[in-house]
Protein backbone atom coordinates (compact mmCIF):
# COMPACT_ATOMS: atom_id res chain seq x y z
CA UNK A 1 0.00 0.00 0.00
CA UNK A 2 1.27 3.43 -0.89
CA UNK A 3 0.67 6.08 1.77
CA UNK A 4 1.38 9.74 1.27
CA UNK A 5 1.90 12.12 4.19
CA UNK A 6 1.75 15.88 3.82
CA UNK A 7 4.10 17.77 6.10
CA UNK A 8 4.54 21.47 6.64
CA UNK A 9 7.63 23.08 8.04
CA UNK A 10 6.80 25.70 10.67
CA UNK A 11 8.68 27.87 13.17
CA UNK A 12 9.27 26.15 16.49
CA UNK A 13 6.73 27.67 18.90
CA UNK A 14 9.46 28.43 21.36
CA UNK A 15 11.27 30.75 18.93
CA UNK A 16 10.40 34.39 18.83
CA UNK A 17 8.68 35.57 15.66
CA UNK A 18 9.24 39.07 14.35
CA UNK A 19 7.33 40.82 11.61
CA UNK A 20 9.39 41.47 8.45
CA UNK A 21 9.65 45.01 7.01
CA UNK A 22 6.95 44.19 4.41
CA UNK A 23 4.50 43.90 7.33
CA UNK A 24 2.98 40.74 5.86
CA UNK A 25 5.51 38.00 6.51
CA UNK A 26 7.77 37.03 9.37
CA UNK A 27 11.45 37.76 9.54
CA UNK A 28 13.18 34.38 9.04
CA UNK A 29 16.39 35.32 10.89
CA UNK A 30 17.00 33.29 14.00
CA UNK A 31 14.00 31.02 13.52
CA UNK A 32 14.28 27.33 14.31
CA UNK A 33 12.16 25.34 11.87
CA UNK A 34 10.40 22.10 12.79
CA UNK A 35 7.94 19.66 11.27
CA UNK A 36 4.50 20.79 12.40
CA UNK A 37 3.69 18.55 15.42
CA UNK A 38 0.41 17.23 14.02
CA UNK A 39 2.23 16.15 10.86
CA UNK A 40 4.57 14.10 13.02
CA UNK A 41 1.53 12.18 14.25
CA UNK A 42 0.58 11.64 10.59
CA UNK A 43 4.07 10.39 9.68
CA UNK A 44 4.14 8.08 12.69
CA UNK A 45 0.76 6.61 11.82
CA UNK A 46 1.79 6.00 8.21
CA UNK A 47 4.93 4.20 9.35
CA UNK A 48 2.92 2.06 11.75
CA UNK A 49 0.50 1.07 9.00
CA UNK A 50 3.39 0.02 6.79
CA UNK A 51 5.05 -1.92 9.61
CA UNK A 52 1.82 -3.64 10.54
CA UNK A 53 1.12 -4.69 6.98
CA UNK A 54 4.71 -5.73 6.46
CA UNK A 55 4.87 -3.96 3.13
CA UNK A 56 4.18 -0.63 1.49
CA UNK A 57 5.71 2.70 0.83
CA UNK A 58 5.47 5.96 2.76
CA UNK A 59 6.07 9.16 0.82
CA UNK A 60 6.42 12.54 2.55
CA UNK A 61 5.36 15.61 0.58
CA UNK A 62 5.95 19.23 1.47
CA UNK A 63 5.38 22.52 -0.28
CA UNK A 64 7.70 25.37 0.58
CA UNK A 65 11.07 27.01 -0.08
CA UNK A 66 14.52 25.34 0.00
CA UNK A 67 14.64 25.14 3.82
CA UNK A 68 11.76 22.64 3.68
CA UNK A 69 14.24 19.93 2.61
CA UNK A 70 15.36 19.78 6.23
CA UNK A 71 11.84 18.90 7.37
CA UNK A 72 11.57 16.25 4.68
CA UNK A 73 14.97 14.90 5.72
CA UNK A 74 13.71 14.41 9.28
CA UNK A 75 10.65 12.54 7.97
CA UNK A 76 13.01 10.30 6.01
CA UNK A 77 15.05 9.80 9.19
CA UNK A 78 11.87 8.71 10.99
CA UNK A 79 11.43 6.06 8.30
CA UNK A 80 9.64 7.49 5.27
CA UNK A 81 10.88 5.86 2.06
CA UNK A 82 11.18 8.95 -0.10
CA UNK A 83 10.07 12.54 -0.30
CA UNK A 84 8.66 15.04 -2.75
CA UNK A 85 9.40 18.73 -2.46
CA UNK A 86 7.03 21.15 -4.20
CA UNK A 87 9.53 23.92 -4.56
CA UNK A 88 8.69 26.85 -6.78
CA UNK A 89 8.60 30.61 -6.12
CA UNK A 90 5.07 30.82 -7.62
CA UNK A 91 3.83 29.21 -4.41
CA UNK A 92 5.36 31.84 -2.15
CA UNK A 93 1.98 33.49 -1.46
CA UNK A 94 -0.08 30.30 -1.69
CA UNK A 95 -3.14 30.28 0.56
CA UNK A 96 -4.61 27.01 1.83
CA UNK A 97 -6.58 26.47 -1.37
CA UNK A 98 -3.60 27.00 -3.67
CA UNK A 99 -1.52 24.75 -1.40
CA UNK A 100 -4.22 22.10 -1.56
CA UNK A 101 -4.40 22.39 -5.35
CA UNK A 102 -0.66 21.89 -5.72
CA UNK A 103 -0.64 19.00 -3.25
CA UNK A 104 -3.68 17.44 -4.96
CA UNK A 105 -1.87 17.55 -8.31
CA UNK A 106 1.12 15.78 -6.76
CA UNK A 107 -1.16 13.21 -5.12
CA UNK A 108 -2.84 12.49 -8.45
CA UNK A 109 0.57 11.81 -9.99
CA UNK A 110 1.53 9.48 -7.15
CA UNK A 111 -1.80 7.66 -6.79
CA UNK A 112 -1.57 6.61 -3.12
CA UNK A 113 -4.34 4.61 -1.41
CA UNK A 114 -4.21 6.76 1.69
CA UNK A 115 -3.22 10.33 2.50
CA UNK A 116 -2.46 11.36 6.06
CA UNK A 117 -2.27 15.03 7.08
CA UNK A 118 -2.06 16.96 10.33
CA UNK A 119 -5.08 18.46 12.06
CA UNK A 120 -3.61 21.89 11.45
CA UNK A 121 -0.30 23.53 10.73
CA UNK A 122 0.78 25.40 13.83
CA UNK A 123 1.95 28.50 11.97
CA UNK A 124 -1.21 29.61 10.19
CA UNK A 125 -3.51 27.39 12.30
CA UNK A 126 -6.03 27.15 9.44
CA UNK A 127 -6.80 23.45 9.70
CA UNK A 128 -8.09 23.67 6.14
CA UNK A 129 -5.72 22.02 3.68
CA UNK A 130 -6.81 18.47 4.54
CA UNK A 131 -10.51 19.14 3.89
CA UNK A 132 -9.68 21.09 0.77
CA UNK A 133 -7.54 18.21 -0.52
CA UNK A 134 -10.47 15.86 0.07
CA UNK A 135 -12.71 18.16 -1.93
CA UNK A 136 -10.27 18.52 -4.82
CA UNK A 137 -9.65 14.78 -4.95
CA UNK A 138 -13.30 13.87 -4.34
CA UNK A 139 -12.26 11.54 -1.54
CA UNK A 140 -13.93 10.78 1.79
CA UNK A 141 -12.25 12.47 4.70
CA UNK A 142 -12.14 12.04 8.47
CA UNK A 143 -10.97 14.92 10.62
CA UNK A 144 -9.26 14.88 14.01
CA UNK A 145 -8.78 11.13 14.08
CA UNK A 146 -7.80 9.40 17.32
CA UNK A 147 -7.65 5.83 15.91
CA UNK A 148 -7.60 4.15 12.55
CA UNK A 149 -7.48 0.59 11.26
CA UNK A 150 -7.17 -0.53 7.66
CA UNK A 151 -9.03 -3.72 6.73
CA UNK A 152 -7.03 -6.78 5.70
CA UNK A 153 -7.80 -6.33 2.00
CA UNK A 154 -6.63 -2.74 2.04
CA UNK A 155 -9.99 -1.63 0.68
CA UNK A 156 -11.23 0.58 3.49
CA UNK A 157 -10.19 2.29 6.67
CA UNK A 158 -12.13 2.52 9.92
CA UNK A 159 -11.41 5.83 11.63
CA UNK A 160 -12.59 7.33 14.92
CA UNK A 161 -12.83 11.08 14.87
CA UNK A 162 -12.97 13.33 17.89
CA UNK A 163 -16.13 15.40 18.16
CA UNK A 164 -17.66 17.39 20.97
CA UNK A 165 -18.87 14.83 23.50
CA UNK A 166 -17.23 11.71 22.13
CA UNK A 167 -15.84 9.80 19.18
CA UNK A 168 -17.59 9.03 15.90
CA UNK A 169 -16.47 5.97 13.99
CA UNK A 170 -16.76 5.66 10.23
CA UNK A 171 -15.73 3.26 7.48
CA UNK A 172 -14.13 5.08 4.57
CA UNK A 173 -13.46 3.33 1.26
CA UNK A 174 -9.90 3.85 0.05
CA UNK A 175 -8.48 6.06 -1.29
CA UNK A 176 -9.30 8.33 1.62
CA UNK A 177 -7.76 11.18 3.55
CA UNK A 178 -7.31 11.46 7.31
CA UNK A 179 -6.31 14.37 9.56
CA UNK A 180 -4.28 13.33 12.61
CA UNK A 181 -5.22 14.64 16.05
CA UNK A 182 -2.99 14.53 19.12
CA UNK A 183 -3.63 11.27 20.94
CA UNK A 184 -3.44 9.18 17.76
CA UNK A 185 0.04 7.99 18.65
CA UNK A 186 3.38 8.99 20.14
CA UNK A 187 5.81 9.89 17.32
CA UNK A 188 9.15 8.09 17.34
CA UNK A 189 12.50 9.80 17.44
CA UNK A 190 14.76 9.14 14.48
CA UNK A 191 17.51 6.64 15.30
CA UNK A 192 21.11 7.30 14.37
CA UNK A 193 20.77 4.63 11.70
CA UNK A 194 17.65 6.37 10.44
CA UNK A 195 19.44 9.70 10.26
CA UNK A 196 22.37 8.19 8.36
CA UNK A 197 20.03 6.29 6.04
CA UNK A 198 17.99 9.41 5.32
CA UNK A 199 20.96 10.99 3.57
CA UNK A 200 20.73 8.39 0.82
CA UNK A 201 16.99 8.60 0.32
CA UNK A 202 15.49 10.53 -2.55
CA UNK A 203 13.96 14.00 -2.24
CA UNK A 204 12.50 14.83 -5.62
CA UNK A 205 12.13 18.49 -6.52
CA UNK A 206 8.90 19.34 -8.28
CA UNK A 207 8.30 22.62 -10.05
CA UNK A 208 4.90 24.13 -10.80
CA UNK A 209 5.32 23.27 -14.49
CA UNK A 210 5.83 19.59 -13.64
CA UNK A 211 2.30 19.60 -12.24
CA UNK A 212 0.84 21.52 -15.15
CA UNK A 213 0.24 24.34 -12.67
CA UNK A 214 -1.41 27.45 -14.05
CA UNK A 215 -0.55 30.45 -11.93
CA UNK A 216 -3.53 31.89 -10.10
CA UNK A 217 -3.85 34.63 -7.51
CA UNK A 218 -4.58 33.49 -3.94
CA UNK A 219 -8.21 33.61 -2.82
CA UNK A 220 -7.17 34.71 0.64
CA UNK A 221 -4.36 37.19 1.09
CA UNK A 222 -2.66 38.71 4.05
CA UNK A 223 -3.24 42.44 4.50
CA UNK A 224 -0.84 42.70 7.39
CA UNK A 225 0.55 41.11 10.52
CA UNK A 226 0.50 42.85 13.85
CA UNK A 227 1.77 42.18 17.32
CA UNK A 228 -0.75 41.27 19.96
CA UNK A 229 -2.08 44.27 21.87
CA UNK A 230 -0.49 44.03 25.33
CA UNK A 231 -2.69 42.83 28.14
CA UNK A 232 -3.28 45.33 30.95
CA UNK A 233 -0.81 44.78 33.79
CA UNK A 234 -1.89 42.14 36.25
CA UNK A 235 -2.00 42.15 39.99
CA UNK A 236 -0.54 39.68 42.47
CA UNK A 237 -2.83 39.42 45.45
CA UNK A 238 -0.77 39.20 48.61
CA UNK A 239 -1.67 38.00 52.08
CA UNK A 240 -2.39 34.65 53.67
CA UNK A 241 -4.49 32.24 51.64
CA UNK A 242 -7.94 32.95 53.16
CA UNK A 243 -7.42 36.71 52.83
CA UNK A 244 -6.05 36.51 49.31
CA UNK A 245 -8.87 34.22 48.19
CA UNK A 246 -11.52 36.54 49.65
CA UNK A 247 -9.97 39.46 47.82
CA UNK A 248 -9.74 37.45 44.57
CA UNK A 249 -13.41 36.51 44.73
CA UNK A 250 -14.36 40.11 45.45
CA UNK A 251 -12.20 41.43 42.60
CA UNK A 252 -13.58 38.87 40.14
CA UNK A 253 -17.10 39.81 41.09
CA UNK A 254 -16.86 43.56 41.52
CA UNK A 255 -13.90 44.77 39.45
CA UNK A 256 -13.63 42.26 36.60
CA UNK A 257 -17.34 41.26 36.62
CA UNK A 258 -16.20 37.81 35.54
CA UNK A 259 -18.39 35.79 37.91
Partner 1 sequence: MPNAFWCIVEDDRNGSPKKVMAEVIGEASRLAPGRVEAVWLTDKASEAGLKQLGEWGAAKVLLLEHAALAPYRSEVWVAAAAELAAKEAPKAIFAPVTSRQREFAARLAARLGVGLAADSVGFALDGDTLVATRPVYAGKLLSRVTWAKAPWVATLRPNVFRPADTQPGKTAPVERPTVAAAGAQMQFVERREEVSTGLPELTEAETVISGGRGMKGPENYVILEELGRVIGAAVGASRAAVDAGWRPHRFQIGQTGRTISPKLYLGFGVSGAIQHLAGMRTSKVIVAVNKDPEAPIFKIADFGIVADLFEVVPELTKEFKKLLDK
Ligand X SMILES: Nc1ncnc2c1ncn2[C@@H]1O[C@H](COP(=O)(O)O)[C@@H](O)[C@H]1O
Residue 187 makes contact with ligand X by CB under 6 A = no
Q: CB under 8 Å to 104, separation ≥6 — which residues?
A: 133, 136, 137
Closest by CA position to 180, among listed 145, 131, 136 = 145
Among positions 3-32, residues that touch ligand X (CB under 6 A) are 6-8
Q: Kindly tell me the burial class for residue 155, based on how many C-beta atoms sit within 10 Å of its own C-beta (0-12, 13-18, 19 or more).
A: exposed
Count of Cβ atoms closer than 10 Å to residue 225 Cβ: 14
Residue 176 makes contact with ligand X by CB under 6 A = no
Residue 91 is classified by DSSP as: G
58: which strand partners? 3
Residue 91 makes contact with partner 1 by CB under 8 A = no
Q: Residue 177 Cβ, how far from ligand X at the closest point, in Å? A: 10
Residue 185 makes contact with ligand X by CB under 6 A = no
Residue 153 makes contact with partner 1 by CB under 8 A = no
Scanning 56-64, 73-81, 105-113, 164-172 for contacts with partner 1 by CB under 8 A, the matching segment is 164-172
The nearer residue to ligand X, 103 or 114, going by C-beta atoms, is 103
Residue 214 makes contact with partner 1 by CB under 8 A = no
Among positions 64-83, residues that touch ligand X (CB under 6 A) are 64
Among 29, 32, 215, 219, binds partner 1 (CB under 8 A): 219
Amino acid sequence: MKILVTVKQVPDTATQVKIAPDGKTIDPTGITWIVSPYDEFAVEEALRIKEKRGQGEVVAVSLGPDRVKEALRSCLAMGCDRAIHLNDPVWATADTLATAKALAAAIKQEGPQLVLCGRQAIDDDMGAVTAQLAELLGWPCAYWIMEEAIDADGKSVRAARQVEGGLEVFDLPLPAILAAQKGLNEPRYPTLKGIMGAKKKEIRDVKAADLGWASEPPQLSIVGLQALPPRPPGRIIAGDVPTAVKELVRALREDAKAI
